[in-house]
Structure 1
Amino acid sequence: MCGIVGAIADRDVVPVLIEGLKRLEYRGYDSAGIAVVEQQDVRRVRRTGRVAEMESAAASEGFNATLGIGHTRWATHGGVTEANAHPHISHGVALVHNGIIENHEEQREKLKALGYEFESQTDTEVIAHLMHHHLKGGDDLLAALQRTVKELTGAYALAVVSRKEPERMVCARMGCPLLIGLGEGENFIASDVSAIIQATRRVIFLEEGDTAEVTRQAVHVFDGHDQPIEREVHVSDVSLASLELGPYRHFMQKEIHEQPRAIADTIEAVIDGGFSPELFGANAEAVLKDIQGVQILACGTSYYAGLTARYWIEAISGLPCSVEIASEYRYRAAYANPKHLVVTISQSGETLDTMEALKYAKSLGHEHTLSICNVPESAIPRASELVCYTRAGAEIGVASTKAFTTQLAALFQLTVVLGKLHGNVSAEDEAGYLEELRFLPGSIQHALNLEPQIALWAEKFAPKSDALFLGRGLHYPIALEGALKLKEISYIHAEAYPAGELKHGPLALVDADMPVVVIAPNDKLLEKVKSNMQEVRARGGELFVFADQDSNFTESEGVHVIRTPRHTGVLSPVVHTIPVQLLAYHTALARGTDVDKPRNLAKSVTVE
């Protein structure tokens, strides 16, 4: 959940490191630091808070070097202090680390017995001292790294420099993303391509267990057995424009408004060629015909996408579907049916809990796996038999928006393909679903046009401490997503329930100070939802209703209504996601919170 950048060049790399950390700040922002090798010495600057504070300190101290590493941190071991910030240094060896070392306490005691003193509470300082210990024993920097990682248990991405070897940096990867950027007479290390896109688009993605040596002129990669290996060079298609704010106040607002285009890009292939199994891979038809059910594994917002898909899959494809939080699944004695397709959903493709759940599912005997992901060549897609990329583009705001709706679009495509292959979707049905998909970007744009009205509602939410979200059927997961968004960025406590559950307990919470958001599309459950709304009004609750254009709702005292576009059928959850995103965004704006970087959270969750 942190960010790494490193560079070696014939020019000053400090601006490259600073710019890279700014682009990685969404991954973690408790503290930041850089270390450079300058005149056979290691210089370091660290600050708690944002990258800009560390940048000012580096400028005032005159940092200028041709080799360096940087890090932006999201605290795991140890509090948010300068001493715990990266890089960590041991006798001229500087190191940055993403991940968690599970055996750090055992290693710490061994190192203390060898005379090493610890300045921080982090697990990372253990690695720095281990590196120095092996260098002192006669290893060079690469050999010391390869020996060190064999003593570590856990997950890591590492970048290391030393004052004694100013012509190279070394790195290692296990469980956390790390890549090498290839330039002309200069090379780079990063945890995310966005950190180095201003310098190069040519990248090598390190595999599990890889170590590497990086100089100005060459890159040498070694596998987990320390044998030289060639890794494929990829050309990144990440757009610099997608990493810039443009005319928007925040990345979250920008990404909310990018959803019509993101959805259009995600469904382009199905609009052009129909619901073909090849959307998911060359051998997808044989795999998807063979399955008898679906097991979805995901975390956070992606989990809510999976909950929505369960309604679609069971109703349209006729297959049983279960959805589980990945971090829970991986630690229970789960039942495994080899004929069930394991679907993992992850925006980053690096979510550690989801990756480990996938490994666990395979160990239980699951034969077929499919990944829905937004980041090509990330770990989870590479570990999956079938893949569907959502084409949302770079998502910088910590609170997921366009990644969620494109996941829904991808899951709907999977649903219809499964329905066709299992004889439950006719040609007429397919044509209807295709038409609904074709209109989806336009319906989302209509929902975006409601922003001024939603901003007025947000003023009423801003002073509140709690909120309740209600939905039924397909729209219950959207209520969950709405509550999560409000919690994440406005810090208002919010809960979501199926509307029919009100009378089984949550109704006790309702009073005049508890705003109740209701997702009320014009579907077969609308009359049931109206009855639940009456339960709220009878207890003095104030209702904020997102209804379809063709729903029969009338505003009255204590009942506020905003009408989204006409009912969009089975894809209605995608459209109704937009208003709850906008409500959370404008409420956070009114409360003055940091919309793109909410406290205690980070974008890419690569720790357990």
Structure 2
Amino acid sequence: MCSIAAVSAAGSKAPAGSAAASAVCSLLENMTYRGYDSIGMAASDGIITKTYKTLGTDFEKIRVADGMRVASAIGQTRWATHGSNTLVNANPQVSLDENDMPAVSAVMNGIISNYDDIRQDLQSSFEFASENDTEAAAHAANLSNFDMQKTTRLLSGRYTCIAMSRGGRIGFIRGGPSLITGVYHDENGVGMRCLASDIHAMAAIGITRIAVIPAGSFGYASASGISVFDIQTGRALRLSYEDIPLPRTTQKPPGGITEAELGEAANIASVGAAGLADSTTYAIKKAASIIKSAQSQRVVFCGSGSSFHMASLGACLLSGSSAKPACELICEDVDVAGDGLNDVMVAISQSGESGDILQAVESARHSTKSVISITNNPYSTLASMSDVTLEMGCGPEQGVAATKSVISTALILQRLLDDSVMSAVRFSDAVSESSLDKAAVLVAKSTDVYMLGSGIYYVPAMEGALKLKELAYLHAEACFAGEFKHGPLAVLESKNIVIIIDPNGRHADLSDEIRARGGRTILLSRTKAYKSDLWIKLEPVTEGGIHGHVLQCILAVQAIAIKAARIAGMPVDRPRHLAKCVSV
């Protein structure tokens, strides 16, 4: 996932200084969690375009500092997909005119699938300087004389692109991830038209009224307004604006974003289902009606990463509370899962822009009766593709590793699928912080970690293993507890850590076998039911029963992973090779 932004203050009275460029930088700074390999900006004074790029996210290196009178600017934070992380491959990409002057600059979120074909077709007319597919969009817009509709006919793939002409005109194509527009006024009262990938970035700089650019559209933006058209027909489209709340002013937490969001996750869990917004509660009732409908034959839960773990939780909860068949699928398996004419799909994605989930929904839409989405972004592409959207409502999640969105999703699923879970899930006490610290020390010293769980507790085992890979860069593997001795035990090395998630104390024999072969065990359970190298006590859950213990275990393994990563000196908020949302 990348983030893109554009600001236009162009017109006969363009503001002095670099207000547009500053606004682009502010938007991008609030979206660096979406991609942080490189950042870049192209700025135009209406005649000349200058491009600024740097690896990493030091915005001081791309700010306009030479007194340029900026009328329009575009920019991007990049997560490298086409081409390695080099300055040449950083965006914006530029297409030159016959005098080797910048004619079109472009930024893009997504992938142009026919990039190789475009490169071959246009290499006699344009010099391709990078390996980045965004450059194909810049050359295509140049070849089309900045006609965005003609540009779309040259490009294939799931992408959203913003381009800027030599005169500072802003054009855009939304053929993929979301694009938001609004009007920004700086401290001097200068009004500017803004485009950005992220609604939270808009709100963070003070924009309170926004509109979502529709999928399958193109258009042009200037300080005086915005025009949007249907890609296929060229018909003018009317935008629907709505007010959004400004975010609470907060300082960057001293321990890091991910730790702070884990703390928010614990608060969400302690409030439980009672903390769901009224709109979400209403949508849950509507979604529950769809699932319970006699016409729906099977419920398919779908997601990637932590969202797949929640899909597994959903299938487990429904199977335990209903006779209706349920299954969980990773996104890429949806198109081979059979023609479920009356299936209901529950699609889970924090961002609502993951390419995997969008392709899965598209693949299933022709045969699926209904699509219910669970997302933290009600303005996302996924939400627009759904019959009912259940909003996580946990606030912006900027840590790459999902924490509070996992807990919010779990609460929504519990309320949706099990009528007995109508009250809050409350903990009498949190899991002991000192025991989590001790567990993290053991884990950080190990080269291999195994997470074991049975039944519904396999969900926190998967979640814990993923978090250790994401954050601590450790080899970690989730395994059904009963299956560990049927193969995985063969690769157990001395001092490997095995975390057994066993609230009911059922796996004493397994723990003994592991310890007899030199492995070290960490037990998560309500009582010290059997010997282990470390016992993490699960405190009593006063309401919610088994559901509460699942949340406790998820929070515990997430905390262990974060702490182990800190001990190892890893960049918890920005793990290597990863981004918050994989839109490609």
Q: Scaled by the length of structure 1, what TM-score is found? A: 0.87
d(CA) in 2 for partners of 1:238 and 1:465?
A: 45
State how 1:79-228 maps to structure 2 within 5 Å. Answer: 79-91=84-96, 92=102, 93-113=104-124, 115-135=125-145, 141=146, 144-164=147-167, 166=168, 168-183=169-184, 185-197=191-203, 198-224=205-231, 225-228=233-236
d(CA) in 2 for partners of 1:283 and 1:581?
A: 29
For residue 335 of structure 1, what is the aligned residue in structure 2? 338
Is it true that 1:401 corresponds to 2:403 in the alignment?
A: yes
Offset, 1:22: 1.8
For residue 540 of structure 2, what is the aligned residue in structure 1? 566
State how 1:416-565 maps to structure 2 within 5 Å. Answer: 416=418, 430=420, 433-435=421-423, 438-440=424-426, 442=427, 446-447=429-430, 450-522=432-504, 526-527=505-506, 529-548=507-526, 551-553=527-529, 559-565=533-539
State how 1:316-327 maps to structure 2 within 5 Å. Answer: 316-327=321-332
d(CA) in 2 for partners of 1:537 and 1:513?
A: 9
Q: Secondary structure at the match of 1:335?
A: coil
Q: Secondary structure at the match of 2:557?
A: helix
Q: Is the 8 A contact 1:30 1:73 kept in 2?
A: yes
d(CA) in 2 for partners of 1:120 and 1:283?
A: 47
For residue 238 of structure 2, what is the aligned residue in structure 1? 230
Is it true that 1:279 corresponds to 2:283 in the alignment?
A: yes
The percentage of counterpart residues that share the same residue type is 30
d(CA) in 2 for partners of 1:272 and 1:209?
A: 32
Offset, 1:194: 2.4
Structure 2 unaligned segments of length 5 or more: list them. 10-14, 97-101, 186-190
For residue 553 of structure 2, what is the aligned residue in structure 1? 576
Q: Is the 8 A contact 2:288 2:417 kept in 1?
A: no
Q: Is the 8 A contact 2:470 2:575 kept in 1?
A: yes
Q: Secondary structure at the match of 2:236?
A: coil
State how 1:285-364 maps to structure 2 within 5 Å. Answer: 285=289, 288-290=292-294, 291-330=296-335, 332=336, 334-363=337-366
Write the deviation string for residues 387-415 of structure 1: whole angstroms up to 9, x where unpaired.
21111110000000011111111111121
Q: Secondary structure at the match of 1:503?
A: coil
Q: Is the 8 A contact 2:32 2:77 kept in 1?
A: yes
Change in CA separation of 1:262 and 1:108 when aligned onto 2, cut-off 3 Å: same
For residue 188 of structure 2, what is the aligned residue in structure 1? none
Q: Is the 8 A contact 2:44 2:70 kept in 1?
A: yes
Offset, 1:206: 1.3
Change in CA separation of 1:131 and 1:81 when aligned onto 2, cut-off 3 Å: same
Output the amino acid matched with 1:561: W
Q: Is the 8 A contact 2:41 2:62 kept in 1?
A: no
Change in CA separation of 1:145 and 1:579 when aligned onto 2, cut-off 3 Å: same
Q: Is the 8 A contact 2:288 2:416 kept in 1?
A: no
Q: Secondary structure at the match of 1:171?
A: strand
Output the amino acid matched with 1:434: M
d(CA) in 1 for partners of 2:560 and 2:66?
A: 44
Write the deviation string for residues 81-120 of structure 1: whole angstroms up to 9, x where unpaired.
100000011122111011111111111111113x211100
Q: Secondary structure at the match of 1:150?
A: helix
Among residues 271, 274, 294, which one is paired with 1:268 in the alignment?
Answer: 274
For residue 265 of structure 2, what is the aligned residue in structure 1? 259
Write the deviation string for residues 481-503 of structure 1: whole angstroms up to 9, x where unpaired.
00000100110111010110111
d(CA) in 2 for partners of 1:339 and 1:85?
A: 46
Q: Is the 8 A contact 2:299 2:327 kept in 1?
A: yes
Write the deviation string for residues 353-381 of structure 1: whole angstroms up to 9, x where unpaired.
11111111112x21111111111121112
Offset, 1:267: 2.3
d(CA) in 2 for partners of 1:148 and 1:577?
A: 47
Output the amino acid matched with 2:108: H
Change in CA separation of 1:286 and 1:252 when aligned onto 2, cut-off 3 Å: closer
Among residues 53, 61, 65, which one is paired with 1:56 in the alignment?
Answer: 61
Q: Is the 8 A contact 1:262 1:393 kept in 2?
A: no
Q: Secondary structure at the match of 2:223?
A: coil
d(CA) in 2 for partners of 1:453 and 1:19?
A: 41
For residue 371 of structure 1, what is the aligned residue in structure 2? 373
Q: Secondary structure at the match of 2:127?
A: coil
d(CA) in 1 for partners of 2:194 and 2:447?
A: 46
Change in CA separation of 1:99 and 1:265 when aligned onto 2, cut-off 3 Å: farther
Change in CA separation of 1:255 and 1:39 when aligned onto 2, cut-off 3 Å: same
